[in-house]
Chain A
């Protein structure tokens, strides 16, 4: 089994972001909210403030480390919700067929027609800004591709000998789905989840930019970027570094997804899209 560059580099970047999020209290030199000092606002990067300070004199590096927690929570949390919805709907549609399959297919087509950011925007407008709203908005709007993959995998797996054997043994439908079919389709589902985490982090940043994400003073990369945009002429570092953090995290998730896909389907290595 050959581990490609994408997989290794993606895993390293993702691990870096996860470690930053987990060990932030030990890594961060300042407090992300309380260490505001207007006397040291908009200072350029130096030995004390590695990424400079923002308009309220808070250390940008510290806030980026704390922002990793929120971005990871949004990325991983929303993908858990999306994956669970996608797997349940796709697997039951593929296994049971009939009117349920038609209904799920119809709903999936509808969901694919609405741009996920627009749908998340509408849901956020209803729920109001905040972390839980973000998780719900991004968690219920991006399951269509997972659902399609789960459905097509179930359609091909349900004719396998071991599934038919389980049916003969009198296993219930749900038991067959969760013990015989689900473990055998986790590969492509994991690829979708990894790619979906990247897009969730991007969507969180976009919604925060539109004023619907995490509210100040708590640091999320999107809200830091929004704050930084206001003073870009005087302190560009306050916008540049949060954007770079988003880029590194999303690149990590995307490369990890690409690498996993290559690993699971070697034919894709030469013709990946």
Chain B
């Protein structure tokens, strides 16, 4: 098992390296630089000498290959560089905001699990029923909703009209501020989880061992608890892991809409002013998080199902 885990962890390294290269190349061909973008709003006169001095200060005047080697060698030491705007280490900036992003992703996932799994489960137990049809229509609708539009409508109803919840911001970190962004972000995983749960439970229900359990005289509740739920959960847990891994990347727009101080809004703000070290760092962290969660899911799956490890 140790070798399996080590192999999975090592597989992350080349993927991250290629992604780092792609991100570096993309942002090295950006026309203009942080210095020019500072003066692009017309409020400050663009002085070529000042721009040249700033480019020199940030090392942007060096040839691209030199910058790439410096970037790779910093990366190997877990140094994501220094922000052009704040002059603070990118790791520090991301560290400050990662907590809020994780909090939002975890709350959204919890909402999706608490609502989506029971709905999918009940729908599968009564296929073709009104509840099944309603759940599946709701699920495909949830997958088709523009998330930030839903957030906007929720904000309009619950914050502006009913005045029950704050419309945006992190506030004092209380639950009230978390509810609207978490529900908005959680709708897509909820829909996916309801569909996955339904499909997994239907698959398990058609298994021979379920028929055998019924023929032994076990009640429906006993069969569901002992045989169906346990077997279906293995796949459902995998889906939950994968969805959780991708949520931080998907939260970018929601964080911006609700002014949530996570790494998504940090990324958007940094793209706007071409603070390239922060953009590169946040994208890398989002990708790394996704890969790490994938690896943890793979390892957990192998622990639960020994056939995976043998493959």
Contact = CB atoms under 8 A, between A and B. Distances in A.
A232 B19 contact: no
A233 interface: yes
Given A113-B291, A115-B250, A246 B199 contact: no
Given A206-B253, A273-B195, A113 B287 contact: yes
B42 interface: no
A255 interface: yes
Nearest to A254: B144
A233 B167 CA distance: 12
Contacts of A6: 140
Interface string A216-233: 000000000100010011
Given A125-B30, A232-B156, A273-B196, A115 B286 contact: yes
B146 A247 contact: yes
A211 interface: yes
Taking residues whose C-beta sits less than 8 angstroms from the other chain, chain B's interface range is: 35 or more
B27 interface: yes
**Chief secondary structure at chain B's binding surface:** helix
A239 interface: yes
Contact of A240 (B148, B153, B246): B153
A122 B283 contact: yes
Nearest to A118: B249
Given A115-B250, A121-B252, A254-B144, A270 B15 contact: no
A236 interface: yes
Contact of B27 (A106, A122, A242): A122
B29 interface: yes
B290 A115 contact: yes
A251 interface: yes
Contact of B140 (A205, A225, A251, A270): A251
Contact of A211 (B246, B272, B279): B272
A204 to B, nearest CB: 10
Nearest to A244: B149
Interface in B129-165: 140-141, 143-150, 152-153, 155-156, 160
B237 interface: no
Contacts of B160: 232-233
B61 interface: no
Given A110-B18, A225-B146, A233-B160, A271 B203 contact: yes
A246 B144 CA distance: 8
Given A206-B146, A273-B195, A114 B19 contact: yes
B156 A236 contact: yes
Contact of A246 (B149, B202, B203, B271): B149
A232 B290 contact: no
A202 interface: yes
A239 B152 CA distance: 8
Given A236-B156, A273-B195, A243 B149 contact: yes
A49 to B, nearest CB: 20
B23 interface: yes
Interface of B: 14-15, 18-19, 22-23, 26-27, 29-30, 127, 140-141, 143-150, 152-153, 155-156, 160, 192, 195-196, 199, 202-203, 246, 249-250, 252-253, 256-257, 267-268, 271-272, 274, 279, 283, 286-287, 290-291
Interface of A: 6, 106-107, 109-110, 113-115, 117-118, 121-123, 125-126, 198, 202, 205-206, 209-211, 225, 229, 232-233, 236, 239-240, 242-243, 246-247, 250-251, 254-255, 258, 270-273
In the complex, the 6 A-B pairs of residues with the closest C-beta atoms, listed nearest first: A115-B249, A243-B149, A251-B144, A250-B144, A273-B199, A271-B199
Given A114-B283, A232-B152, 7 more contacts: A115-B246, A115-B250, A198-B144, A250-B146, A251-B140, A251-B141, A254-B140
24 contacts: A106-B18, A110-B19, A113-B15, A117-B249, A118-B249, A121-B267, A121-B271, A122-B23, A122-B27, A122-B283, A125-B279, A126-B26, A126-B29, A126-B30, A211-B272, A225-B149, A232-B155, A232-B160, A240-B153, A251-B144, A270-B127, A270-B202, A272-B195, A273-B196
